[in-house]
Structure 1
Amino acid sequence: MAIPFVSLVATSAAGDIPLALPIDCTLGETCHIQQTVDHDPTAGASDFACGLLTYDGHKGTDFALPSLAAQTEGVNVVATAPGTVRGVRDGMADILQTAENAPDVTGKECGNGVVVSHGDGWETQYCHLANGSVAVGTGDRVAIGTILGQVGLSGQTQFPHLHLSVRHNGNVIDPFDPDGAITCGEPSETKLWSDAIDAPAGGLITAGFAAGVPEYSAVKAGTAHETTLSSSDDLVVWGYVFGGRVGDEIILKIDGPNDQIINQTVVLERNQAQLFRATGRRAPQSGWPFGDYLGDIQMVRDGTIIDTATTTVDIR
């Protein structure tokens, strides 16, 4: 059964349905919320907090993995509430839409996916599952935590993630603000999540060291971080960021065995859903002292640190 592409805006606020985390990961550590539902009916975009953690017309919550390597290892997608499988799709290739050989996915933007009906007009849709991973069939009963498949790259994807859509009577519902009555500066006290789930308005995905500024593709693939370097290597620290806004400061520091080597602040000049920044020093003629080096990256917005990440490298 083909999975429909619903294009209705969030208008309903009917009764509650408690939702568990739909992905087997730890938020803020092994995954993060990259995007949420767009509440702006115009060509602009605004999330449930009047922020930028969304894009025009986005109709779900995206749970992103830190790298392609994490996706390759396998991360389960699970039912967020009990119900009956209403439809599935499998067999679409795992290819990012940024790839040169990306297929036309018009009408199949969800990629491989599962739709689960929960009764009383409620349903959830799980998109971008890995090719061949769908583990349920139409008519199957599922419980909270039942494995539906694994995170993949099928459909309209630019990074590895699970897209979860929640609908009531066909209307898109934002689990972070189910009544759709947005008041800027006053987040809704009512959420559909059964556990406390935060959607920070930006943060650090990961960080690492390298012997030079890495390719962005290596950062996204999860292969950019080097755990050891030689004393003659150049020393670069980098941070991988999501939800960047104009004016945000990315502070990058390197502390060596004896003293601080770098303390640099980079100010973002435009809004970006994902980005990375790096800084470093060439190796001194005598080489770096042997030992452990600590990288510390901070993301600062309006004078407040909103996230930090640390990383280490052994020079020997």
Structure 2
Amino acid sequence: MSQAKGYKGRFRAPLFAALALAAAPAMARDIKIGLPVDCTLGEDCYIQQFFDRNPAPGVVQDMACGTLANDGHGGVDFAVPSLRAMKDGVDVIAAAPGTVVAFRDEMPDVSSLSEAAPDLEGRDCGNGVVVDHGGGWRTQYCHLRLGSVTVETGQKVRMGTPLGQIGMSGRASFPHMHFTLRKGDLKVDPYGPDASATGECSLDTTPQGVWLEAPDYVPGGLLQAGFADHVPNIAQVREGMVTAAETPADTAAMVVWGYAFAGQIGDEIEIIFTGPEGEIGRHIEELEKGQPFLLRGYGKRTPVMGWLPGDYIGLVIHRRDGEEISRKRVTTTVPGEAP
């Protein structure tokens, strides 16, 4: 990250060295922050991971007593469901007023798991921006889309000023923006800076922390659903599959698929497929292992005489402990006149 456009692309060492995760007790809450992305959570973006409050290695605990974090995860990940959504553009915005003190905008949007990934030594954040808010508070915005950064060092920003767009640069394997809040040299949880390394959590309510309006804790759920003429693979879905408004009567098959995040052992995914004459079929599957992302599909081969004209509806439901946590509904139409 640079202080000028011609900088070689490394973050300034004091800003991006490995930092301790423990937060000082009784930390002054002299900052209030807004949502750092210009999107609607639960509709066109979502939170993939929260801050890990448990300092013990190998043990994960988020602020809601769950495990929606990686071990040592020192921020909040705001994600979009597909590369198509990333390419359409979702703005990353300043969470509070301040001054830009560093930025980088030169790294490609390539999965860090890919053989084509660049050297990431010292550049895990990828393209990003750091804003100083005074009083020892700083925010950092990582994995921004190449070419999207719109600010420079020394620039004053207001809450809501566009900084760049969600991308997949640096150490990222899905399109998202990693948001970090720091007080001095400490990474802290915006849902409760004083509790950042205490292991404290709340089962009942989403903590307010330093948010003006705290984003809700969503423990997983469906990101996308659609119809296809085959069972898609996860790479196709991550690219951004779109269900056609119309499906030909002689298509090879009709498959309803659902793509979800943060699946846990014992979760159920139910797929219900209906057509002009009622229910065509349904399928329920229980997860045998936890999965950060999961794709399930169910459908039928095309009848000999083809599909009847009319509307076909796919409903995908994600349940946990018997309770519905998410659902997606998708429709396609076979054109023609009903017999």
Same fold by TM-score, threshold 0.5 exceeded?
yes
Match of 1:109 in 2: 124
Match of 1:268 in 2: 287
Distance 1:210 1:59, change over 3 A: same
| Residues 152-301 of structure 1: pairs in structure 2 closer than 5 A | 152-180=167-195, 181=198, 182-183=200-201, 185-187=203-205, 189-223=207-241, 225-233=243-251, 234-301=253-320
Match of 1:20 in 2: 34
Amino acid at match of 2:243: H
Q: Using the alignment, how far apart are the partners of 1:292 and 1:123 within structure 2?
A: 52
Structure 2 residue runs of 5 or longer lacking an equivalent are: 3-9
Which stretch of structure 1 is more off in the superposition, 69-78 or 190-199?
A: 190-199
Match of 1:31 in 2: 45
- 1:15 deviates by 2.2
Match of 2:7 in 1: none
| Residues 77-92 of structure 1: pairs in structure 2 closer than 5 A | 77-92=92-107
Per the alignment, in what secondary structure is the counterpart of residue 194 of structure 2? coil
Amino acid at match of 1:207: A
Q: Using the alignment, how far apart are the partners of 1:149 and 1:90 within structure 2?
A: 9
Q: Using the alignment, how far apart are the partners of 2:250 and 2:67 within structure 1?
A: 42
Amino acid at match of 2:126: G
Structure 1 residue runs of 5 or longer lacking an equivalent are: none
> What is the percent sequence identity of the aligned residues?
44
Q: Using the alignment, how far apart are the partners of 2:92 and 2:268 within structure 1?
A: 34
- 1:174 deviates by 1.1
Structure 1 residues 208-265: Cα deviation after superposition (integer angstroms, max 9, x where no partner): 0000101211100112534332222211001110111000001111111111012211
Match of 1:315 in 2: 334
Q: Using the alignment, how far apart are the partners of 2:20 and 2:98 within structure 1?
A: 22
Distance 1:48 1:10, change over 3 A: farther
- 1:178 deviates by 2.4
**1:126 counterpart = 2:134:** no
Q: Using the alignment, how far apart are the partners of 1:21 and 1:189 within structure 2?
A: 15
- Say if 1:218 and 1:224, in contact at 8 Å, map to a contact too: no
Per the alignment, in what secondary structure is the counterpart of residue 229 of structure 1? coil
Q: Using the alignment, how far apart are the partners of 1:88 and 1:137 within structure 2?
A: 7
Structure 1 residues 9-28: Cα deviation after superposition (integer angstroms, max 9, x where no partner): 14235122211111111100
Q: Using the alignment, how far apart are the partners of 1:163 and 1:169 within structure 2?
A: 19
Calculate the TM-score normalised by the size of structure 2. 0.89
Task: Give the count of matched residue pairs.
Answer: 316
Q: Give the RMSD, CA atoms, in angstroms.
A: 1.5
- Say if 2:64 and 2:217, in contact at 8 Å, map to a contact too: no
Structure 1 residues 49-94: Cα deviation after superposition (integer angstroms, max 9, x where no partner): 1212111121111110111001111111110000111111111111
Q: Using the alignment, how far apart are the partners of 1:188 and 1:297 within structure 2?
A: 26
Amino acid at match of 2:149: V
- Say if 1:208 and 1:224, in contact at 8 Å, map to a contact too: yes
- Say if 2:150 and 2:163, in contact at 8 Å, map to a contact too: yes
- 1:132 deviates by 1.9
Q: Using the alignment, how far apart are the partners of 2:145 and 2:131 within structure 1?
A: 18
**1:7 counterpart = 2:25:** no
- Say if 1:85 and 1:136, in contact at 8 Å, map to a contact too: yes
Per the alignment, in what secondary structure is the counterpart of residue 312 of structure 1? strand
Q: Using the alignment, how far apart are the partners of 1:191 and 1:243 within structure 2?
A: 23
Distance 1:24 1:102, change over 3 A: same
Match of 2:5 in 1: none
Amino acid at match of 2:235: S
Per the alignment, in what secondary structure is the counterpart of residue 110 of structure 1? coil
Amino acid at match of 1:45: V
Q: Using the alignment, how far apart are the partners of 1:224 and 1:73 within structure 2?
A: 14
Which stretch of structure 1 is more off in the superposition, 6-15 or 77-86?
A: 6-15
Amino acid at match of 2:179: L
Amino acid at match of 1:235: M
